[in-house]
Structure 1
Amino acid sequence: MFHKEGSKIILFASVLLVAILLLAGELIDIAWLRMAIQLIGLFFYVMILQFFRNPNRTIAPNENSIVAPVDGKVVVIEEVFEEEYFKDKRLMVSIFMSPINVHVTRYAVSGKVKYSKYHPGKYLVAWHPKASTENERTSVVIENSVFGEIMYRQIAGALAKRIVNYAQEGDVAVQGTDAGFIKFGSRVDLYLPLGTKVNVKLQEKAIGNKTIIALG
Structure 2
Amino acid sequence: MGRGKMVIQRIDNTTNRQVTFSKRRSGLLKKARELSILCDAQLGLIIFSTTGKLYEFATTNMESVIERYHHNTSDNNQPPPPAEDLKFWQREATKLRQQLEVLEERHRKVMGEELTDLSIRDLQSLENQLEASLKGVRMHKDLVLGDEIKNLKRKGSLIRQQNLDSHHKLDLVKQENSDLIFKLKGGYKVHQVYQQPQTSIRVQSEHYITPIHLQLSQTQPQPLNIDASPTTTTMNLGLILH
The TM-score with structure 2 as length reference comes to 0.19
Query: More strand per residue: 1 or 2?
Result: 1
Q: Which has the higher contact order (CA 8 A, sep 6+)?
A: 1
Structure (1 or 2) with the larger CA radius of gyration: 2
Query: More helix per residue: 1 or 2?
Result: 2
